[in-house]
Structure 1
Amino acid sequence: MYLSILKLWNFRKYCAMADGKPGLEIHFQKGVNVLIGENDSGKTAIVDAIRYVLRTQSGEFIQFDDKDFYQDPAGNRKDEFKIECVFDGINEQDAGLFWEWLSWSEDKTKYLLKVWLYVKRKDNVIMPTFSAGIEGQTDRMDSEARELLKVVYFKPLRDALTDMTHGYKSRLAQILSAHELFKTEKDVQGNITKHKLETDYEKLKKEIENYFKIGGSGESITSEINSFLKDHFLLKGDPRKAEVKLTGGELTEILRLLDLIMEGNKSGLGTLNLLCIAAEMLLFNNQKKGLKLALVEELEAHLHPQYQLRLIEYISSQKKNEQFILSTHSITLASKIKLANMIVLKGNDAFPMSSEYTKMKPADYKFLERFLDATKANLFFARGLIMVEGDAENLLIPAIAQLIGKNLYQYGVSVVNVGSTAYKRYVNIFKRKDGKSFGMPIAVISDLDVRAFEYYDDNSKDRKTPKYWLRDDLRPELEKISTEVDYDAMSTVFESKSAFEEEVRKHKNANFKPIGETIDRMKDILTEDKRVALNEDILARIREEKRTRLENAINADKIKIFLPQAWTLEYEIAGSGLYKLLATAIKAAQQEKDHPELEITDKILNQLWNDVTNEFPDEGIPTKEVAYKIFEPLNDGTVSKAITAQYLAGILAGELAPVSDGTVNRDKVKSIVENDDKLKYLVEAIKYVTE
């Protein structure tokens, strides 16, 4: 059996709905479930709710307080809250254990177990009530059955030294007390029998007492203490004497004397936390029947990332009849956990990421699990998101945002570089089958990738020769043959059928079969009447078709794609009022490439700026020919786009010349960015996620 559904009414941040529905309904699955979200997203509330209802194997004391009751914006607290747990996957053994309280699923095909915790407060007294069965016909559950619902709770590992060393608050003692080796046993007459540790401890006590008694090696110590007391403090005739002895002797007292260590010297905090986890797993693995559920809160606390990964790998490998509910705000863990095991917490809602709930395809899951690294996993913790498809955008967008007074970090916005057109897979994370909204603005900044006319305005490219163009009148014919090709990622123009075949092979997916036969059928569509010579009207039509297609595919709920007017980010900047700054950055990147030993100082940047202004003396917006001339080294790959973007980002941020020293006025640069039509889509994307 496993915990399938948790419902909360007026518990902490989750206010009951006006129609009586719970403030939160969260669905869990067998095996591993990972609660992911920023601070105060509700992770602890969910873990505590489960813990409050089911209680823990190690018997932590649970005390309700006023803060467990929902508080409205005016400061008024509710006087009661309710928590419901629903258990599924009940087998014959489970049914025998909980028979009196079972109910049927709606389709009458399986057993369910439902339990509730009702908590009321009146006159500063908090009164909890636990019940189980069928709602409206609930009954109390006996203590033996409740024992079988107890969970193993991995506390946030913030005080491992106290937990794993001796003392009254020893967590190790609690864990050992709950283990079957230390359960109370009775003899045939029904009398409680002493544990072996208790009898051995009694022997040790005797030996220590004898050591300090008359005739023992430590007799002189007790004699000296008693002489001092008799001579200076005790009244005449007082018969009392001091003794040195071990106190206590009950099993719980003995267990509190124990330490768990890994090495002779004092262990570091990381090692102590590993010992904590190992001890908790001891308790978890000892459970033989009933619910086998472990709650792991803040798995990453004080653990080195490599330990985190080893631990999540172990937990993920456990049997399906075990259930783990973990919470984390670690991007390292988020990047390594399978997407289908995640539950993302946003606002007052929970979003399971398994295929039952998202619009992700099986191929999306495989792709994202392969490429979702710690940087990209940031998207699960952001309050706003900008997806970009390259290093240049990743560097430039934060700099532009800062320039226009929209520092992304202050708004909790993350920029995620997904690489090429992979954003199509990433946005599906946020598209839900049930239509629920994440409530988070997501901007996708992409290239239109339709080359400018000037690119073809070169005899070597022969723009007058008719070519095949991937327009919307051709695409439906191709899609009738196969939809297993990323047509959006393909080139928009083909010199020949062989060039078309090369693009198809490059952008087909694994289900594109049979390859040769399918490609031949597609090539048959490319008849001579579909070859057209280039003109501006064709480019404009292709751009508009692609823009509409991408917007229809991506835009949904609060997800919105932002596209340039013509081609790429760098081309748009080359055609904007920032073209001279871009040209300066390109020259700096070229210098770095040609002279790697040379440090590009502000003095050199200013000299490059002067060279650019001499080469392009005109003010205002450049011509298309000038824009392409500036952009051409980036397009041809003779200069690194990423290094160019690095220099341009530093210039726009006012960290590098010619802006840092005032040669170019920063306010003027800001005005260009805010008002230039070529850069409008970037500004709109930034404002979309920050307003």
Structure 2
Amino acid sequence: MQLRRLRIRSFRNFRDLVIDPFPTPTVIVGENGAGKSNLLHALRLVLDPDLPDRRRELLSEDIHDGSPTLAEGAEVTVEIELCGFEDDPDARSELDGAIVSVDPLTARLTYLFRPKQSAALLLGEEEEAQPLTPNDYEWTIFGGTDPSNSMLGAKKYAALSVLPALRDAESDFARPDRSPLTRLLRELPPSQTSIDKTLEAIRNAREDLGRDSNVQRVADLIRARVTTMAGPRLNLDPSLAFIGRDEDLLRSIRLFIDPSAARGVDRTSTGTANVLYLGLLLEWLGLRRGALNGEDTLLAVEEPEAHLHPTLQRHLFAHLLAQSNRLLLTTHSPHIAAVTPLPSLVLLLDGVAGSEARVMSSDLLTAPERVDLQRYLNVNRAELLFAQGVVLVEGIAETYVLPALARSAGFNLDAHGIVVASIDGTDFAPYAKLLGPSGFNRPFSVLTDGDAVDTENKEKYRRELGLKRALDLLTVLADADTADTYEEALGVLQEQNLPGTGGSRMGRKDLVTTAAGFGIFVGPDTLETDLAPLLGKEMKATFNELANGRRRRENFAKAVDQVSAGSSTAPQRDAIVSRIERDPVSKGRFAQRLATHVEQLDLPTQIRKLLSVSAEQAVSQADLLGLPGCGPLLALLDDLRRRYENLPLVPTLEETSGSFPGEQGTST
């Protein structure tokens, strides 16, 4: 049996949350406050047989802020649909009254919290109307679509077991009534022959101990003391013996972490104890599912990463999530998210009317795209699932330079949860699908090289590869008319040769502006040459620190100066890139060192110099896009800062009044 669909209305974070389909296994991720724990509690209202009934009686704080209040006649529902029990006669019998579909066979259970009938009638009479209290409410769990079809017993079969985030595994192991080892031994108890032999040995040992002189003396001392205190009328004759019942045998078995049974669980780390606890519980649940009349339990674990080393997190949960089990996790760990199959991810987001859930549809990505993205998240940047904003870039150089440029303007990307993620290539479309409106719906931008070159007639389509990438993204993010218009203009553009004296093709600026409106920022050439007009001085200083030889340094400085001067030719731009790519520099190493210089820069002042504007004049995104080389990159940072700090990248004096130079808008 598995959970197929979930709907929560008017409960805590959720005004009307629908997760359909509900994946199995499930990993729920989201920022703090998005409602991960509240979602688990909503499931407990329907399915957890161990949840006391008094906790199903909701309070005012359990009602969603945008819904009618408890005083106004609130109604809360948690509706789940279950499937996968066609071959289980007991389940079909138990859930017979809850069937809502036969293809596939699906049962619906609903927790309903609402005013009692008498209170509801009173609420409707205006002259007698008065605020309702919790005492005016009732709850039920019903099957199918009829609230009168009470099915309170169904939760004993289709059950949910929750391990809280702040569990104390060591303490639970020490208490037989809470230890998963005790549960496991009850499912696989020792044979009766072994029990009888052990009890007989215990009885013999007990008699031997009871005949010990010191034990008898202790019993005599107790008897004498009590008689002296209370007199002979109390009729008390104490003795000492040693218990040895069947149940006591199981409860007395303890788990040790070494073959010699010398070191108990309390002698290991908290993380190891949690792994043992989870392993025993999963084994017990597996046995229960296979037992006659056993429960088909869904196990939910809150924040299982607690106390676990990142490497162990990845290995352990890669194994567990690959199993055919009914496991549900909530997590903040990018290491667990990284090994989670994409279809198993549920992303909770804060929405205008309450928390929303995003699940990847089965047809969103092609099979190769899904495999590639899964590998990317596993190896590189699963953090983008937790980010407030994402900037997708081609390579590692941008991941060094962009945050440094932002900091030099007083804008801290990390403080706003913005992740700069390299995809190590140029195929951005699958990432746009995953993060876009039809996927997880996360705010994201793209920065890509323009790669504007001249080619033979038969390869004209390759003349503006950056703008072609933007077209691929527009087919995902924009309407069909916008994409078609863009494609037509791009075709015209690609017919032109690059100006022999440098510069760009006629009409290119319009296409760059259109793409920027959808968060796609296309540079003219490649990162290093695009930065030269803005960071020429810093680039030369960086190269001098990394490269040996006076001639090499002079040639690099000459190439930077030529590109910084304005319109440059392809050979001049190639001279910069070729020198950076030679050993012992490399693009990544160069960008890493360049970032150190960039952070010391007063970026707003530098930009104003390029634009020849004063500190009183506003600088728009269009102004930045028009800058040679670095314009799209700066326009991207401007777009981010306006969204997250409501400030432009280059604020006026009025907008930065009260801030220290270089710290405008800095968030901590």
Structure 2 gaps, min length 5: 116-131, 471-494, 612-618, 646-668
Partner in structure 2 of residue 584 of structure 1: 541
Q: CA deviation at 1:166?
A: 2.8
Q: Does 1:686 align with 2:643?
A: no
Which deviates the most, 30-39 or 586-595? 586-595
- Using the TM superposition, give the Cα deviation of residue 579 of structure 1 relative to its aligned residue in structure 2, in angstroms: 1.6
SS in structure 2 opposite 1:540? coil
2:158 is aligned to 149
Q: SS in structure 2 opposite 1:221? A: helix
Q: SS of the counterpart of 1:372?
A: helix
Does residue 2 (structure 1) correspond to residue 2 (structure 2)? The answer is yes
Deviation at 1:285, TM superposition (A): 0.8
Distance 1:593 1:206, change over 3 A: farther
State the Cα distance separating 1:142 from its structure 2 match: 6.2
Q: Does 1:83 align with 2:78?
A: yes
Q: Is the 8 A contact 2:391 2:446 kept in 1?
A: yes
Find the counterpart in structure 2 of residue 130 from structure 1. Answer: 140
1:418 maps to 2:454 = no
Deviation at 1:167, TM superposition (A): 5.4
Residue correspondence of structure 1 range 597-616 to structure 2 within 5 A: none
Cα 1:400–1:124 change in 2 (3 A) is: same
Deviations 1:568-603 (Å, cap 9, x if unpaired)? 222222023x321122122223249999xxxxxxxx
- The amino acid across from 1:131 in the alignment is I
Does 2:88 match 1:93?
yes
1:634 corresponds to: 577
Per the TM alignment, residue 164 of structure 1 is displaced from its structure 2 partner at its CA by: 1.8
Provide the C-alpha distance between the structure 1 equivalents of 2:362 and 2:67, rounded to a whole number of angstroms. Answer: 40
Amino acid at match of 1:303: L
Note closer, same or farther for the CA distance 1:667–1:75 as it changes in structure 2 (3 Å cut).
farther
Distance in 1, matches of 2:105 and 2:145, equals 15
- Secondary structure of the 1:87 match is strand
CA contact 2:5–2:19 (8 Å) conserved in 1? yes
Structure 2 letter corresponding to 1:415: V
Q: Which residue of 2 aligns with 1:569?
A: 527
Structure 2 length as normaliser, TM-score?
A: 0.71
- Deviation, 1:364, is 1.4
Count of residue pairs the alignment pairs up: 566
Change (3 A) 1:642 1:242: same
| Among 163, 168, 175, the residue aligned to 1:166 | 175
Task: Look up the match of 2:405.
Answer: 400
Instruction: Kindly provide the amino acid, as one letter, of the partner of residue 82 in structure 1.
Output: T
Change (3 A) 1:326 1:223: same
Contact 2:81 2:108 in 1 (8 A): yes
1:141 aligned partner, one-letter code: M
Deviation at 1:149, TM superposition (A): 1.1
Give the CA deviation at 1:381: 0.4
Return the offset for 1:378: 0.6
Do 2:428 and 2:469's aligned partners in 1 also have CA atoms closer than 8 Å? no
> Residue 341 of structure 1 is aligned with which of 340, 344, 365?
344
Report if the CA contact (8 A) 1:165-1:258 is conserved: no
Distance 1:375 1:672, change over 3 A: farther
C-alpha RMSD over aligned residues: 4.6
In structure 1, distance between residues paired with 2:330 and 2:550: 46
For 2:63, the equivalent position in structure 1 comes to 70
SS in 2 for 1:10: strand
Q: Does 1:119 align with 2:119?
A: no
Deviates more, 1:128-137 or 1:387-396: 128-137
Shift of 1:242: 4.8
| Contact 2:2/2:326 (8 A) holds in 1 | yes
SS at match of 2:327: strand
Please say if residues 392 and 645 of structure 1, whose CA atoms lie closer than 8 Å, have aligned partners that are also in contact. yes
Shift in alpha-carbon separation, 1:305–1:405, aligned structure 2, 3 A = same
Structure 1 range deviating more: 166-175 or 399-408: 166-175
Deviation at 1:255, TM superposition (A): 5.2
Trace 1:365-514 onto structure 2 (pairs within 5 A): 365-373=370-378, 375-433=380-438, 438=441, 440-451=442-453, 467-468=456-457, 470-471=459-460, 488=468
Amino acid across the alignment from 2:272? T
Distance 1:667 1:313, change over 3 A: closer
* Secondary structure, counterpart of 1:343 in structure 2: strand
Query: What does 1:525-674 correspond to in 2, within 5 Å?
Result: 535=500, 539-541=504-506, 543=508, 547=512, 555=518, 560-564=519-523, 566-576=524-534, 578-591=535-548, 622-625=565-568, 632-636=575-579, 637-638=581-582, 639-654=585-600, 668-669=605-606
The whole-number CA distance in structure 1 between the counterparts of 2:197 and 2:407 is: 70
Separation in structure 2 between the aligned mates of residue 618 and residue 128 of structure 1, nearest angstrom: 78
The TM-score normalised by the length of structure 1 is 0.69
1:384-442 Cα distance to aligned partner (Å, 9 max, x none): 11111111110111111222222112212111111221322211102344xx883x421
Residues 583, 260 of structure 1: CA spacing in aligned structure 2 closer, same or farther, 3 A cutoff? same
Matching residue's letter, 1:119: F
The equivalences for 1:305-384 within 5 A come to: 305-319=310-324, 322-347=325-350, 348-356=355-363, 358=364, 360-373=365-378, 375-384=380-389
State the distance in 1 between where 2:30 and 2:188 align: 36
Tell me the distance in 2 between the aligned counterparts of 1:307 and 1:126. 50
SS of match in other structure, 2:14: coil
Give the 5 Å matches for 1:511-530: none
Using a 3 Å threshold, how does the CA distance of structure 1 residues 324 and 402 change in structure 2: closer, same or farther?
same
Q: Aligned-pair distance for 1:379?
A: 0.8
Q: Deviations over 1:106-149 (max 9, x none)?
A: xx744321111123587455966333333136412263x44221
Distance 1:432 1:627 in 2: 38
* Contact 1:102/1:111 (<8 A) preserved: no
Q: Are the counterparts in 1 of residues 5 and 81 from structure 2 also a CA contact under 8 Å?
A: yes
Distance 1:137 1:222, change over 3 A: closer
**Matched residue, 2:491:** none
Deviation, structure 1 residue 280:
0.9
Identity of matched residues, %: 20
Query: Normalized per residue, which structure has more helix?
Result: 2
